Amino acid sequence: TTIVLYTDGISEAMDHAHRPYGVPRLERTVAAAPGNAAGVGRHLLADVDRYAAGQVRSDDICVVCLGRAAPAAT
């Protein structure tokens, strides 16, 4: 389980047609992300970068992903 906290700079990132990244895409991207919390964060940021494709950003972007480590084997 991973908890994802993000600023509106992610959901409001615009593509070349001035369409926002949006919460539905954010949810799909997080659900499809591989691995642990760090992997989820990297996957999300990479997708936002691809979506915005060099567009000037008008807002800051911050994402915090929290996960729980698996218990150690005994």
- Cα dihedral sign for 44, 9, 26, 50? negative
User: Using CA atoms, how far apart are residues 7 and 42, in angstroms rounded to an integer?
Assistant: 15
Non-local CB neighbours of 7 within 8 Å, separated by 6+ positions: 59, 60, 61, 62, 63
**In which band, very low, low, confident or very high, does the pLDDT at 58 lie, cut at 50, 70 and 90?**
confident
pTM score over 0.85: yes
Is the pLDDT at 49 greater than 80? The verdict is yes
User: Mean pLDDT over all residues of the chain?
Assistant: 92
Report which DSSP code applies to 59: S
Tens digits of residue pLDDT in 1-16: 899 999 999 999 999 9
Predicted pLDDT of residue 42 = 96
